[in-house]
Amino acid sequence: MSSIEERVKKIIIEQLGVKEEQVTNDASFVDDLGADSLDTVELVMALEEEFECEIPDEDAEKITTVQQAIDYVSAHLG
Amino acid sequence: MSLDKQVALVTGASRGIGRAIAHELGREGAVVVGTATSAAGADAITQDLLAQGLRGQGLVLQVTDAASVEAAVKAVTEAFGAPTILVNNAGITRDNLLMRMKDEEWESILATNLTSVYRLSKAVIRGMMKAKYGRIINVGSVVGSMGNAGQTNYAAAKAGLLGFTKSLAREVGSRGITVNAVAPGFIDTDMTRALPDEQRAVLIGAVPLARLGSPEDVAAAVAFLASERAGYITGETLHVNGGMYMA
Ligand SMILES: NC(=O)c1ccc[n+]([C@@H]2O[C@H](COP(=O)([O-])OP(=O)(O)OC[C@H]3O[C@@H](n4cnc5c(N)ncnc54)[C@H](OP(=O)(O)O)[C@@H]3O)[C@@H](O)[C@H]2O)c1
C-alpha cells in the first residue's frame, strides 16, 4: 500500500498531466503546475474518488498546493 | 445507431415537445429517462417508451425542487449510468401584462424555466466532466430573442437561458462537453392550445412557412445537437420557428 502522499501525487500527475519531478510539496497547482480553475475542480473530484470522501466547496477552495492536498486528505482520513 | 452508448435525461417528457424529444433520442439509440411531475405521468412515460420499443423509463421530477433534482440524477445514474445528454425542456407560461403581473407569476417562471436549468446542469456536469463528453441542450424560445407583449417573465427567463448556455459552453468546452439551445417558435402543444383562436391565427400569419411547428420539428433539432456530428457546435442557438424570426 502506498502512502497518502504518494497516492495524492500520483493523482496530481495524472490529472494535470505534469512530470513527477514537478510535483514538489510546495508546488502550487495554478502557479507552478499550470492548472486552470476547472483543472483544480477536477483534481478535487479525483481526490474525492480516490479517497472515497466528500470535500466541501469551502475546503476545496483552500487546497491550492500539493502539501495542502496531502494535509487535507491525511487529516480527514485520520 | 448514433446515440447507442448515450444516456439521455429529458425533463418535461410527459407531453408536447419533451415527449417528441424523448422518442427521437430513443430512436437514435440512447437510453432515455423522461420526467413528469406526477407518478402517474412518470408511469405513462415508462409505458409509452416500452410501447415504442425504446430503452428507458419515466421518472418523477419537480424541477423547482433542489432535492428532487438531486434524487432524479442519482436515480438515473444508478439505473443506467451518469447522463451524457441532458435536455432541459420542462417549462411553463404565466402570461400577464407587466402592469398586472404578480410576484408569484414572475417568480414561478424564473424558478421553473431558468433556475431549473442551472440546477440540472450542475447536477449532471460532474459526470460529464469525468466522461470528458457531454451534450446539454436547453429549450429556449423565440420569445427570448424577439420579446412578446404579455410575456416579460417568460421572455426574461428564456433570454437568461441563452446567456447561461453561452457561459457554460465556455466553461466546459475544453472537456468535450457542448452546451447549446434550441429556440422553438410557435409549436402545436398544450402550451399554445391554451391561446384563443384569433391569437393563433395572427401568430400563424407571422410565420413564413405558414403553419405551426410540430414537436417533431423541434425534436429533430435537439437530436442533431445531441449527436456526435454536432461536436464542433457549442454556445449556439438553433432557431426552429418556420422563419417567424431570423436571427
Ligand atoms: N409550445 C410552444 O409553442 C413553445 C414555444 C417555444 C418554446 N417552448 C418551450 O418548449 C418547452 C416544452 O414546451 P411544451 O409546449 O412541450 O409544454 P407542455 O406541452 O405544456 O409540457 C410541459 C412539460 O413540462 C413539464 N413541467 C412543467 N412544470 C414542471 C416542473 N415544475 N417540474 C418538472 N417538469 C415540469 C410538464 O410535466 P407534467 O406533464 O407532469 O405537467 C410537461 O412534461 C418549454 O420549455 C417551453 O417553454 C414551447
Q: How far apart are CA A41 and CA A43, in angstroms?
A: 5
Whichever domain contains A23, its CATH number is 1.10.1200.10
Does residue B145 contact residue B159 with C-beta atoms inside 8 Å?
Answer: yes
Residue B205 DSSP symbol: H
Closest CA to B13 of B237, B219, B233, B234: B219
- Containing B179, the helix (H) or strand (E) segment is strand B177-184
Residue B241 DSSP symbol: S
ipTM summary value: 0.80
For each of the domains in chain B, give its residue range(s) and CATH number, in order of start.
Answer: 7-186+215-238 (3.40.50.720)
B80 CA distance to ligand 1 centroid (A)? 25
The pLDDT-based confidence of B191 (bands split at 50, 70, 90) is confident
For residue range A52-67, what is the model confidence (pLDDT) as tens digits? 999 999 999 999 999 9
> Least CA distance to B175: which residue of chain A?
A38
Q: Is B156 annotated as a binding residue?
A: yes
CB contact set of A19 (below 8 Å; sequence gap of 6+): A13
Atom of ligand 1 nearest to the CA of B190: 19
Does residue B58 contact residue B43 with C-beta atoms inside 8 Å?
Answer: yes
Beta bridge pairs of residue B56: B32
B182 CA distance to ligand 1 centroid (A)? 14
Residue A1 has pLDDT above 80, yes or no: no
Atom of ligand 1 nearest to the CA of B158: 47
Mean pLDDT on B62-89: 98
Which range marks the domain in which residue A17 is found? 4-76
pLDDT of amino acid B49: 98
Q: Which of B122, B124, B129, B168 to mutate to test the interface with A (most CBs of A within 10 A)?
A: B129
Does residue B233 contact residue B180 with C-beta atoms inside 8 Å?
Answer: yes
B225-to-B80, B136, B170 alpha-carbon distances in Å: 22, 9, 17
Q: How far apart are CA B70 and CA B14, in angstroms?
A: 20
Exposed/middle/buried for residue B215 (C-beta within 10 Å: 0-12, 13-18, 19+): buried
Report the SS3 class of residue B34: strand
Ligand 1 probe mutation, B37, B65, B109, B137, most atoms within 8 A of CB = B37
What cell does B216 get? Answer: 417533431
B48 CA distance to ligand 1 centroid (A)? 18
- Residues in B touching A41 (Cβ below 8 Å): 129
Q: How far apart are CA B29 and CA B14, in angstroms?
A: 19
B17 CA distance to ligand 1 centroid (A)? 7
For residue range A6-54, what is the model confidence (pLDDT) as tens digits? 999 999 999 999 999 999 999 999 999 999 999 999 999 999 999 999 9
Length of chain A: 78
Atom of ligand 1 nearest to the CA of B140: 7
> Least CA distance to B130: which residue of chain A?
A42
Tell me phi and psi for residue B60, to 5 degrees.
Answer: -85, 130
Does residue A5 contact residue A20 with C-beta atoms inside 8 Å?
Answer: no
What cell does B217 get? Answer: 420539428
B243-to-A35, A58, B77, B140 alpha-carbon distances in Å: 45, 48, 39, 16
For residue range B134-177, what is the model confidence (pLDDT) as tens digits? 999 999 999 999 999 999 999 999 999 999 999 999 999 999 99
Tell me phi and psi for residue B109, to 5 degrees.
Answer: -70, -45
B154 included as an active-site residue: yes
- Residues in A touching B130 (Cβ below 8 Å): 45
Ligand 1 probe mutation, B9, B17, B245, most atoms within 8 A of CB = B17
Overall number of domains in chain A: 1
Q: In B, what residues contact A, Cβ < 8 A?
A: 126, 129-130, 171-172, 174-175
pLDDT of amino acid A78: 58
